[in-house]
């Protein structure tokens, strides 16, 4: 649905921002620069690879080694500038949110293009958006940010992915509507961070007499 | 080998019971309701998806979004009734055992139907039965119940999966023999819990002079 | 590129040595013998299975149940001889290094044979070599040895995999050059252990004025 070049450019930008979060975690945990690049790669490429394995297509990152460029760039940037990064924490959360916005839309679109039912395509879009971060947190032994009760992470991605699937069903998915869905996802995530939004817990707290 | 409707019904029941264990863990860990649904989905669908990826077929849950219904139901039931659930701990272990019994048989059968050698099919049956729980424990940072020395979890699944493969080799796998294998697996697991059965440790304790 | 029998023999030897590291970890963590076999299997077969899933071919271990023999053997050897093993710690690190050397070369070769671009093939070779150990450490809740700052693990595998891909591009990959690449990888890893080599950290330490 998107032109191939547009798709590739969006992908590489998304991979870069997620890869930065992996390299930053590696730096915080005292890993070496090789582990930093490996963790950056798992974070930036993991979500898309899991999606492609489930769909049953060969991962784009495998066919096009250019996908490794943003990973290496991310590890390099963190290597050179890590001590300055904490000042930019807000900027980074925004970049992560931009990655989330991009991947939930492009991931859903790729699944739809592979002939997956719309509901499953939306879930694969969410998988693309949150899978790399989950892999990063699990292999680095962190509490997955996906599961933190004090933050809303998956819901904006679900919203963007569902919107993409609905647009497609209405035959209204284009670069412009897709970008709009990305921006809305980005904005929801940014607002959730800014205002500390939370979702209800996994169980209903009941009154003593309840 | 099973009628398609029978297969689907057994699958949905198995997914539901495993999904409940995921949602319960989410509640115990203080995750929010979205994380609860995600963890329920990984637990209920994870084992089958891993099996299907290894076989090389598109996961059934992807083609039939109805597989999401038991996941949402499980998260909803835990959301509404969590404070009452601890009273039912024994019931829950039995339900988990029922899921184990179902999945080791249906998982082996699906692998055999895909033309996998019998030994590998039995192992994929075990993977279907224990994979979702392993994924649940790993992403939620728990000691995998699969590895607990004070409990027998994998052995009943191995027994049921091996029995299914043997029945198939003897051309005797039908709904009735399959259900019998499920029930035997269920009973072995239930007895292991009831009587605290343990397997030998990973190394032989030797006498001081040994 | 290698004769099928040679390939199989190299694979089984590599699986055995990695499987031993899984069974040893199971013994150290107090798991039972079934969990030991499961962890040995994940360690010995995990890297190759992940590689094959990404390439999109059915894992060799699935088609040829003989791949289970070294796994069972490893769990059995550790069961019988664990208390004696610590004396052989150096031997074991060497065996692990031999597995690393074998898998980074054969993994790269299998990916090249499947028509993957050379750069991606080298990365899949690294995945084959380090994937099983990463899976072992993650499911057993250990700090992944892949990420330890005080040890060099991934770099020798990267060197061997890159050398294999370059040899292939130069049309010079044969059993003899492949074995040479394996031996060089093994030697690099063994020297890294012997002399405590380290890679630079994920970020540049800067002078106070930097």
Tokens of A64: 């096009």
In a mutational test of the B interface, the residue from A203, A205, A206, A208 whose CB has the highest number of chain B CBs within 10 Å is A203
In a domain, A174, yes or no: yes
pLDDT of residue A210: 39
CB atoms within 10 A of CB C64: 16
In a domain, C169, yes or no: yes
Q: Which residues of B touch C53 (CB under 8 A)?
A: 53-54
Taking the CA of residue A81 and the nearest CA in chain B, the distance in Å comes to 31
Taking the CA of residue A139 and the nearest CA in chain C, the distance in Å comes to 6
In a domain, A67, yes or no: yes
First to last CA, chain B: 52
Please tell me the least confidently modeled range out of B111-115, C25-29, C125-129, C166-170: C25-29
In a domain, C178, yes or no: yes
d(CA C45, CA C160): 20
| Model confidence band, residue B187 (pLDDT cutoffs 50, 70, 90) | very high
Say if the Cβ atoms of A203 and B140 lie within 8 Å.
no
State mean pLDDT over B129-139: 94
Q: Is B144 on the interface with A (CB under 8 A)?
A: no
Q: What is the DSSP string of C145-167?
A: GGG-TTS--HHHHHHHHHHHHHH
d(CA B108, CA B100): 12
Q: Which residues of C touch A72 (CB under 8 A)?
A: none
pLDDT higher than 90, residue A203 = no
Are A157 and A105 in contact, with CB atoms under 8 Å apart?
A: no
Please tell me the least confidently modeled range out of A94-103, B100-109, C165-174: A94-103
In a domain, C200, yes or no: no
Q: Which residues of C touch B116 (CB under 8 A)?
A: 62
State mean pLDDT over B86-109: 82
Tokens of C20: 């031993």
pLDDT of residue C210: 38
Task: Give the pLDDT confidence of B150-179 residue by residue, as tens digits.
Answer: 788 999 999 999 999 999 999 999 889 999
User: Domain containing C38: what range?
Assistant: 4-195
Say if the Cβ atoms of C82 and B119 lie within 8 Å.
no
Alpha helices by DSSP H, B56-153: 60-63, 68-81, 89-113, 118-139
Say if the Cβ atoms of A203 and B79 lie within 8 Å.
yes
Select the residue of A120, A158, A200 nearest B32 (Cβ to Cβ): A200
Q: Is A165 on the interface with B (CB under 8 A)?
A: no
d(CA C178, CA C186): 12
| Model confidence band, residue A151 (pLDDT cutoffs 50, 70, 90) | confident
pLDDT of residue A199: 84
At residue B201, the 3 state secondary structure works out as: strand
Task: Give the pLDDT confidence of C99-120 residue by residue, as tens digits.
Answer: 899 999 999 999 999 999 999 9
Max intra-chain CA distance, chain C: 61
Select the residue of A146, A154, A202 nearest B79 (Cβ to Cβ): A202
Task: Give the pLDDT confidence of C189-205 residue by residue, as tens digits.
Answer: 999 988 888 888 888 86
Task: Give the pLDDT confidence of C142-166 residue by residue, as tens digits.
Answer: 888 888 877 889 999 999 999 999 9
Please tell me the least confidently modeled range out of A56-60, B134-138, C81-85, C124-128: C81-85
Taking the CA of residue A33 and the nearest CA in chain C, the distance in Å comes to 4
pLDDT of residue C180: 95
Q: Is B163 on the interface with A (CB under 8 A)?
A: no
| Model confidence band, residue B87 (pLDDT cutoffs 50, 70, 90) | low
State mean pLDDT over C23-47: 93
Tokens of C160: 């061997």
Say if the Cβ atoms of B59 and A55 lie within 8 Å.
no
Number of domains chain A is built from: 1
Say if the Cβ atoms of C120 and A62 lie within 8 Å.
yes
Q: Is A119 on the interface with B (CB under 8 A)?
A: yes
Say if the Cβ atoms of C27 and B203 lie within 8 Å.
yes
Angle, CA B110 vertex, CA B107 and CA B112 arms, to 5°: 110
In a domain, B201, yes or no: no
Are C130 and C158 in contact, with CB atoms under 8 Å apart?
A: no
Give me the residues of A, 8-27, that contact C with CB < 8 A: 23, 26-27
CB atoms within 10 A of CB B5: 8
pLDDT higher than 50, residue A207 = no
Q: Which residues of C touch B201 (CB under 8 A)?
A: 27, 30-33
Q: Tell me what percent of the residues of chain A surpass a pLDDT of 70.
A: 92
pLDDT of residue B201: 84
Which residue in A138, A154, A190, A128 sits closest to B32, CA to CA? A154
pLDDT of residue B208: 46
Which residue in A165, A189, A187, A191 sits closest to A178, CA to CA? A165
In a domain, B78, yes or no: yes
In a domain, C201, yes or no: no
pLDDT of residue A145: 83
Select the residue of C65, C68, C141 nearest B143 (Cβ to Cβ): C141
For A138, name the nearest residue in chain C, comparing CA atoms only.
C138
Q: Which residues of C touch B56 (CB under 8 A)?
A: 56, 58
CB atoms within 10 A of CB B1: 16
pLDDT of residue B209: 45
pLDDT higher than 50, residue C207 = no
Q: Is B175 on the interface with A (CB under 8 A)?
A: no
């Amino acid at each position: 649905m998107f032109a191939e070049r547009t798709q590739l450019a969006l992908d590489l930008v998304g991979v870069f921002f997620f890869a930065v979060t992996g390299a930053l975690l590696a730096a915080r945990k005292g890993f070496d620069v090789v582990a930093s690049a490996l963790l950056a790669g798992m974070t930036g490429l993991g979500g898309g690879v899991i999606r492609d394995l489930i769909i049953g297509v060969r991962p784009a990152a495998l066919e096009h080694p250019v996908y490794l460029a943003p990973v290496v760039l991310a590890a390099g940037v963190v290597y050179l500038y890590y001590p300055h990064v904490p000042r930019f924490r807000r900027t980074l959360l925004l970049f992560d949110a931009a990655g989330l916005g991009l991947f939930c839309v492009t991931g859903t679109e790729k699944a739809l293009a592979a002939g997956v039912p719309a509901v499953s395509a939306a879930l694969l879009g969410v998988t693309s958006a949150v899978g790399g971060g989950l892999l990063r947190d699990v292999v680095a032994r962190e509490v997955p940010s996906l599961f933190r009760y004090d933050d809303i992470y998956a819901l904006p991605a679900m919203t963007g992915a569902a919107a993409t699937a609905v647009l497609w069903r209405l035959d209204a998915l284009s670069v412009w509507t897709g970008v709009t869905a990305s921006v809305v996802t980005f904005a929801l995530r940014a607002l959730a961070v800014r205002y500390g939004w939370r979702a209800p817990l996994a169980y209903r707290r009941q009154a003593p007499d309840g």
